[in-house]
Amino acid sequence: MTGFVWLQLLLLGAIWGGSFFFAKIAVHVIPPLTLVLFRVAIAALALHIYLLARGIRFWDYRQHALGFSGLGLLNNVIPFSLLFIGQTALGAGLESILNATTPIWTVIIATFLTVDEKISANKIAGILLGVFGTVVMIGPGVLSGLGGPLWAEIAVLAATLSYAFASILAKRFKGIPPTVTATGQMTASTLIMIPVVLLSGGMPDFAAPDQGVWAAVFSLGLLSTAFAYILFFSIVRAGGATNASLVTLVVPVSAILLGTVFLGEELGLKDFAGMALIALGLLTIDGRLLAALQKPQKR
């Protein structure tokens, strides 16, 4: 990946690190499926307004409606629902570790379903370093989360599998602007979630959440979803599905740094060690550092 794509990946990781914080606030007041509907509907509306302001006709891409529906199902409806449901029973640390396994599933699936993203020693070594770095960074605190219910752990792992398949499917949309792909995905997700919410519990209660919860919901919809998926599809188009999935290794780092900045939490030795391992993993996957080290020195 180019330096600009790596910058986009780090920015996306920072944004999605904040999404766990926003979701944790909202999911205790708003039912998980209703929160998914709020998140995708707000994002879809914002993206349609953006396209109108830019003079881009979304209707011109209507032939991709089926593909957008598949993306919405795999990239939003299924994983958002499973993650929010799992978050009601799991600690954030364990969920971060399980979520960080996404690149492993992506590289395995990409090996079988693509011709240009085959498994390699660099990728496997780098991903394993990143996952191990996440475990180190979360530290002993994750042990309290290991007693969570099995169904919640399976839900989060199923969400990571869904993300992996979505990353592969997203490669088919390389010729479409990322803003249009994100809009199509969110629009389809909203249309899918409306009957799901109605059948599962009726219309959401708009009066229940207070201002703080609504602030978290709109942050989820606008920043962690609308803007984030524009970045995501831009990364997929430039760097491929496996590289885009690496963002889940950056997310725990950004979540901990956000806690340090906004919640007054202190960084410990395990945090720096975990971040170093994750950085080493990303550099290993990138390959350029190893190539430079293996290059024979001129005498």
Q: Which residue has the tokens 């011709």?
A: 115
Q: Is 70 exceeded by the pLDDT of residue 286?
A: no
d(CA 64, CA 180) in angstroms, rounded, equals 10
10 assigned to some structural domain: yes
CA distances (Å), origin 67, targets 110, 180, 229, 264: 18, 12, 16, 44
Tokens coding 92: 């954030």
- Give residue-wise pLDDT tens across range 45-76: 999 999 999 999 999 999 999 999 999 999 99
d(CA 198, CA 33) in angstroms, rounded, equals 10
What's the chain's Rg over C-alpha atoms?
A: 19
d(CA 196, CA 77) in angstroms, rounded, equals 10
What is the per-residue pLDDT for 287?
65
d(CA 35, CA 26) in angstroms, rounded, equals 7
What percentage of the chain carries pLDDT values higher than 70? 85
208 assigned to some structural domain: yes
* Total H helices, total E strands in the chain: 15, 0
What average pLDDT does the structure give for the chain? Answer: 82
Q: What is the domain range of residue 66?
A: 3-294
What is the per-residue pLDDT for 239?
84
d(CA 43, CA 14) in angstroms, rounded, equals 18
pTM: 0.80
What is the per-residue pLDDT for 85?
85
128 assigned to some structural domain: yes
299 assigned to some structural domain: no
d(CA 142, CA 134) in angstroms, rounded, equals 11
d(CA 84, CA 76) in angstroms, rounded, equals 11
- Give residue-wise pLDDT tens across range 177-216: 999 999 999 999 999 999 999 988 766 677 777 888 999 9
What is the per-residue pLDDT for 93?
59
Q: 161 or 151: whose pLDDT is higher?
A: 161
Q: Where are the beta strands (DSSP E) in 33-181?
A: none
SS3 211: helix
Q: Do 98 and 160 form a contact (C-beta atoms < 8 A)? A: yes
192 assigned to some structural domain: yes
What is the per-residue pLDDT for 259?
67
Q: Do 86 and 35 form a contact (C-beta atoms < 8 A)? A: no
d(CA 217, CA 268) in angstroms, rounded, equals 31
Of the candidates 102, 240, 73, 222, the residue with the CA atom closest to the CA atom of residue 170: 240
Q: Do 130 and 282 form a contact (C-beta atoms < 8 A)? A: yes
* Domain total of the chain: 1
Tell me the mean pLDDT in the region 248-275. 73
Q: Do 129 and 290 form a contact (C-beta atoms < 8 A)? A: no
Give the CB-side neighbour count of residue 85, counting CA atoms within 13 A: 18
d(CA 78, CA 134) in angstroms, rounded, equals 24
- Give residue-wise pLDDT tens across range 41-50: 999 999 999 9
110 assigned to some structural domain: yes
Of the candidates 22, 167, 164, 28, the residue with the CA atom closest to the CA atom of residue 99: 164
State the Cα torsion 70-235-46-73 to the nearest 10°: 20
211 assigned to some structural domain: yes
Tokens coding 149: 């219910």
Q: How confident is the model at residue 265 (pLDDT cuts 50, 70, 90)?
A: low
